A = this chain, B = another copy of it.
């Protein structure tokens, strides 16, 4: 029997018509909280309590088995001890319940024995055709459908359009609190626990089709089903739903911590960065930014243009915003002449018309300046969203709000603007009922709290808006195949060179010499200094045994070098020697490193770096999952800190970056075509001198069978 975790199957879990609380007990704080939530949300009449002894619990009569409920039940919320959970599952299944939410701990998070219990749990659920959320978590709450199947206290009473998923139960309550503080409304909140069966990726996939969800915020310590995640994230991008992830594990210490408390594998952080970028997943570094960016993404949707137009009455706020815009790469476009004209009519003579725009103190006597400025800014051909910096109150002080006129004028601007407008608070403040009253009175629909946080959210949404979710296929090079029996070990440079050449990658000329005469003849043909390298499938570290000579000039030197290099093979007894590879040396230009390795989670990853001393001293490399388009390869080249080298320094010729990107793409395509058995493919260096591009050395290795 196969159990598939499909979106339609998850629907009955996340929108249950009725819930059985299995293990309900007055003494259990978890049971108390769960029942209180169901009661607070008006779900008590569709809640059934199952208690071991049938005792009155939470003031309600109970049954001792799900079978006694009689009515159909969609979800069993299990809070029985770990040892009793298998039987409880059977009992629920026998009553026709097909979804279980397992709060109980004592599974994978506790060590070897717990992991075995978790495997058993999943196998048992599968055998019963039951979906299983958890174990070791705090449940979920559907705020739109008003079904809280969770022991988290303090749930928000109003729903919104952001779904929140968290692998941490201990932080989920704080996340809900902040969503409330920041006025970010939630559609669904799911704590994931050990993800024994249902993972964050499955829930994400479900949410892409959930009409109540417009953006997804996720706190992840690890990504457990990379393929499902990748698929779901791509669908979300196409659907225009922003996915915002706070992924722990960027420090070695947190990797250790996460391992300590969930047993999760925390992936290589740079790989995660590259994969998220590729998938259009927005990565943030705080709970606050996660919720604020998701909230902004849900409210704004895709921006038509990345430019942000700023209107403020505080010059200081304009300065801070401009500084942070530079830090976070948020575009504050220069205004078009027609915008400048329109704003000049509004502004006082001593003001300055620019973006960010300080409307000056003149707006104190004339709040309508805000309306006019917003309208003019929103019509600018480079502006995708107008951010109006102002303040809102949060505590009622017994007096009418002093600057309600500003809020009203901004609200008028929201109505007349040609594009979206957000109100930005100068500082972080809670959105209280009083704040909402002031906003509603002025018809201001959305607020982002705090300048830095607003810049982070808007720059994130602007970046995401520029991704289409579709990648134009590049011209595909020749399809290269390698016979199964050759996919093993480390190839010689001669074999690797042939493979790359077949794939259309330009190689430095090179020939196999099998005699001193050969070597001398090749050196003469090449004309300048040459390199000689031993070629043997049995010799991996050629340099270490003296199997490489560089900068060899002249007939005699070539003969001597051949003799020396060939003799080096004697240090590896039994090595089969194919000959000595002779290639011309190159000088000038720039040397790149282009390598592909297999990530255990995410498959083939491409790394591009400036070679030589830069990669050694600075670790200056850029990663991307394969395949990459030439456009992406160009971004990678431009993303290197030392990318200015490509423009030519000290009289060097500027590199033909388009052609370099094209070669990099071909190397990537080749690695993809070779499949998962390829362990690594590295061109180091890829020599670039103006428009001349050559792979000077190549390594191909295959995974052990």
Contacts and interface: CB of A to CB of B under 8 A. Distances in A.
A109 interface: yes
B649 A613 contact: yes
Contact of A315 (B258, B324, B397): B258
Interface in A257-271: 257-258, 260-262
A478 interface: no
A154 interface: yes
A429 interface: yes
A325 B153 contact: no
A110 B361 CA distance: 12
A215 interface: no
A314 B171 contact: yes
A326 B288 contact: no
A358 interface: yes
Given A174-B426, A177-B394, A249-B323, 14 more contacts: A153-B402, A170-B314, A173-B391, A181-B427, A249-B319, A251-B326, A253-B325, A257-B319, A257-B356, A285-B452, A286-B320, A287-B450, A617-B644, A617-B649
Interface residues of A, number: 87
A254 B323 contact: yes
B451 A287 contact: yes
A37 to B, nearest CB: 12
Q: How many copies, total?
A: 2
A246 interface: yes
A428 B426 contact: no
Interface in A133-182: 153-154, 166-168, 170-171, 173-175, 177-178, 181
A358 B260 contact: yes
A261 B352 contact: yes
Contacts of A110: 350
Interface string A616-648: 111000000000000000000000011011000
A684 to B, nearest CB: 15
In the complex, the 10 A-B pairs of residues with the closest C-beta atoms, listed nearest first: A168-B316, A170-B314, A261-B315, A174-B426, A248-B319, A251-B326, A260-B352, A178-B427, A254-B322, A171-B316
Contact of A168 (B181, B315, B429): B315
Nearest to A168: B316
Interface in A276-300: 285-288
A177 B322 CA distance: 22
A317 interface: yes
Contacts of A118: none
Contacts of A451: 286-287
A345 interface: no
Interface in A165-208: 166-168, 170-171, 173-175, 177-178, 181
A394 B322 contact: no
A452 B286 contact: yes
Contacts of A64: none
A354 interface: yes
A114 to B, nearest CB: 8
Nearest to A153: B402
Contacts of A257: 315, 318-319, 322, 352, 354, 356, 358
